[in-house]
Amino acid sequence: MMCEQQPQVTFMEVSTNKGDHRSRRRCMEEGRVRVDMSGMSLDSFPILSLNLATISNLDLSNNNLESIPESMTARLLNVVALDVHSNQLKFLPNSIGCLSKLKILNVSSNLLRTLPKTIENCKSLEELNANFNQLSVLPDTIGFELINLKKLSVNANKLGILPQSISHLTSLRVLDARLNCLRFLPEDMENLINLEVLNVSQNFQCLENLPYSLGLLVSLVELDVSYNKITSLPDSIGCLKKLQKLCVEGNPLVSPPMEVFEQSLQAVKEYLCEKMKAGQSPTKKQSWVGKLVKCGTFNGKIGSRRGEREGFIMISEYRSIEGLASPRYMGLLSPRRLFSPRTYLTK
């Protein structure tokens, strides 16, 4: 069943003369037309008189779509932004790989279990939002192909691992994989030289360790590993010169000790650097020290605080899942708290 509402069509170039159709024709010829069909109670894609190849932005969000026709998707040759969030989609059409100009794809809040492998052909893709689905895996080679991807959001899914190829997303700036079932992170993350924000919080009883390669994320500014099962932070985190925000609450952390966390982020960095320098970590590898030095994140010296106050680190006494489920702490897991902006250590 389809609502009788008409789609809103906007031409990206506005003419000063309302009677002038030349600018509209130019927009259509160049594929610069926005079509908004959000919130229209659609359960199937409507037949449009408009040539699909002229559409640059298509919004089909907040409807009841269960599928998108292969033939329709293949004709969206000039689409740059496609928004189908908050529908009932169980799969995406394979023809999505034809969208060579697509930069922004929002498929969040659907029923997707997998993403089509053909999504790797969307070479221009810069932002992929697949939050709130039922994804258990991502395409194995996704990181080898989406070389322009800057933001990957896959939170609130059922992911047990992230594909090793993720480490090849050299343009990636934001990786949000919270609220999954991640057991570990890829070991070789040093290629993510532009990554600024990494959020793998709330993987609860699954994520126990962090890779040593985190110390080579030279652009990392924010790191959230809260509500996991991590007992110690890798020493290499002390080498993250640009790190300004760190959230580690809800973990059974032993190293660094609690009294260090209660001081400042700088104190944590100094503790970890000192530990690395002294070679106290049983898991520390000499090869990693060489890599850290080569990348300029570690020089063997401990920086001075110089009176800088870096705020505080969100960390509280570790509580088990059972404890969190008690009436006293149920508020911690409310949707409003889980998905609202977190309070971090700020510089």
- Write the pLDDT tens digit of every residue in 263-279: 999 999 999 988 888 76
343, pLDDT greater than 70: no
pLDDT at 278: 76
292, pLDDT greater than 80: no
pLDDT-wise least confident of 85-94, 192-201, 276-285: 276-285
Determine which helix (DSSP H) or strand (DSSP E) holds 35, and give its type and residue range.
strand 33-36
pLDDT at 110: 98
> What token pair was written down for 211?
């890779």
The answer to whether 154 touches 130, Cβ cutoff 8 Å, is yes
Q: How far apart are CA 122 and CA 73, in angstroms?
A: 13
Tell me the HSE value of 40 on the side-chain side, using a 13 A CA sphere.
22
Mean pLDDT of 67-73: 93
Q: What percent of the chain has pLDDT over 70?
A: 71
Tell me the HSE value of 114 on the side-chain side, using a 13 A CA sphere.
9
The answer to whether 226 touches 203, Cβ cutoff 8 Å, is no
20, pLDDT greater than 90: no
Q: How far apart are CA 293 and CA 278, in angstroms?
A: 15
193, pLDDT greater than 90: yes
